């Protein structure tokens, strides 16, 4: 009965007041989803500003430039007349990439000799750097194939034989789950999860330390009933919050959902339980409400970095890999992305069990600390 009393009081609390706590649980992950969804809406990086230095000024060099100009990836904004001008355009930040075509380009191509062009990339941001390089390689490969086959056709080769001679090895590429290599599909689910755990932190972190300091419930209420009664309303409402944010992610920002909602909600249950229990542990250790909000930031904020969403976990060093084991995002981020893009997450149930187990350990430690602190507070008051 004590547990039900605490559960009822805490549920009433998160729905009461001029600005109910429930708004934080719903609003923060939704805000993260919308803000980052707007940023990644285009899904791929296009219109990268580009400069061209055409020393050749021949028909072939103009055809190559036109191939770049026809691509959505590039936006040729200037043609320069010297190497110095080209470098200045990049150093001053006016362009991010540059194409340098030598003066003997057409001559060497027509003679069947190797013709070099220079593609310069300011890769301070790898996102557009990688996109530019991969697209440039594809354009140059297609252009070289077309020019080489024309030369061989002029020498008497049949068109198909000319193509096979120039490009004898054909690479077949099949990209699974994210065929356009879109950044939205790659990152948005993880950013939504990060907002989700931040929302839980803002809403729940002060809860336990507040009870320790104010002692709303008497000695007849066990520390376990208080902790569980307080955590349950946040856990249930967090699942609704997760479903709402995921709905927006899928139907407003066109992130595919190839898996099923039940698996996603099971993952959310394990993830939110782990997060809430760890926050409960932090709250039970903190001396004030303010610190209970500040200290968990050190734990929550690195979660996205160590989750394996941007840098793969299999290539982390031993220290980073060990740190990631204690962060909820490491057990949820890849699984949610797999459910959305691949339709299945091979490690889902294993990782869910680990999150629930870790949450139980954190909850047990928090309960012991709460019991000790409550006993100390009652003893201090008695004296």
CATH code linked to domain 48-166: 3.40.1710.10
Strand arrangement of the beta sheet that strand 74-79 belongs to: 74-79, 48-54, 97-101, 118-121
Residue 27 CA: distances (Å) to CA of 12, 164, 187, 248: 19, 58, 20, 12
Torsion, Cα of 249, 251, 253, 257 (10° steps): 70
- Give me the residues paired with residue 279 across strands: none
pLDDT in tens, 347-377: 999 999 999 999 999 999 999 999 888 888 7
Residue-level pLDDT at 383: 62
Residue-level pLDDT at 243: 94
Residue-level pLDDT at 357: 96
Closest CA to 202 of 28, 327, 18, 366: 28
Residue-level pLDDT at 174: 59
Residue-level pLDDT at 268: 95
Residue-level pLDDT at 123: 73
Residue-level pLDDT at 232: 93
Residue-level pLDDT at 314: 74
Provide the whole-model pTM. 0.81
Pairing of strands 97-101, 118-121: antiparallel
Q: Name the segment(s) of the chain with CATH classification 3.40.1710.10.
A: 48-166
List of the chain residues with pLDDT < 70: 1, 42-43, 125-127, 148-149, 151-183, 382-383
């Amino acid at each position: 009965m004590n547990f039900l009393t605490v559960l009822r009081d805490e549920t009433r609390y998160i729905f009461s007041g001029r600005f109910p706590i429930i708004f934080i649980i719903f609003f923060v992950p939704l805000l993260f989803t919308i803000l980052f969804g707007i940023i990644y809406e285009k899904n791929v990086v296009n219109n990268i500003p580009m400069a061209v230095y055409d020393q050749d000024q021949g028909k072939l060099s103009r055809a190559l430039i036109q191939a770049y100009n026809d691509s959505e990836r590039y936006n040729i904004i200037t043609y320069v007349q010297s190497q110095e001008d080209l470098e200045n355009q990049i150093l001053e930040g006016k362009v991010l990439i540059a194409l340098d075509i030598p003066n003997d380009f057409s001559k060497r191509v027509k003679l069947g000799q190797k013709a070099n062009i220079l593609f310069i990339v300011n890769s301070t941001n790898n996102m557009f750097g990688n996109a530019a390089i991969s697209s440039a390689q594809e354009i140059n490969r297609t252009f070289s194939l077309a020019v080489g086959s024309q030369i061989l056709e002029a020498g008497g080769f049949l068109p198909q034989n000319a193509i096979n001679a120039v490009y004898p090895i054909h690479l077949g590429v099949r990209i699974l789950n994210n065929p356009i290599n879109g950044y939205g599909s790659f990152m948005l689910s993880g950013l939504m999860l990060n907002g989700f755990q931040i929302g839980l932190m803002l809403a729940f972190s002060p809860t336990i330390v507040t009870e320790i300091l104010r002692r709303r419930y008497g000695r007849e209420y066990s520390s376990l009933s208080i902790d569980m009664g307080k955590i349950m309303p946040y856990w249930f409402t967090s699942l609704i919050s997760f479903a709402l944010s995921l709905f927006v992610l899928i139907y407003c920002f066109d992130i595919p959902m190839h898996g099923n909602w039940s698996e996603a909600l099971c993952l959310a249950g394990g993830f939110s339980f782990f997060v809430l229990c760890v926050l409960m542990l932090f709250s039970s250790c903190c001396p004030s409400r303010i610190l209970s909000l500040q200290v968990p930031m050190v734990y929550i904020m690195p979660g996205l970095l160590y989750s394996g969403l941007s840098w793969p976990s299999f290539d982390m060093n031993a220290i980073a890999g060990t740190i990631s084991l204690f962060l909820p995002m490491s057990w949820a981020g890849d699984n949610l992305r797999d459910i959305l893009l691949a339709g299945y997450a091979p490690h889902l149930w294993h990782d869910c069990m680990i999150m629930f187990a870790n949450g139980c350990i954190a909850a047990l430690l928090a309960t012991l600390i709460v019991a000790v602190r409550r006993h100390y507070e009652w003893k201090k008051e008695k004296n």
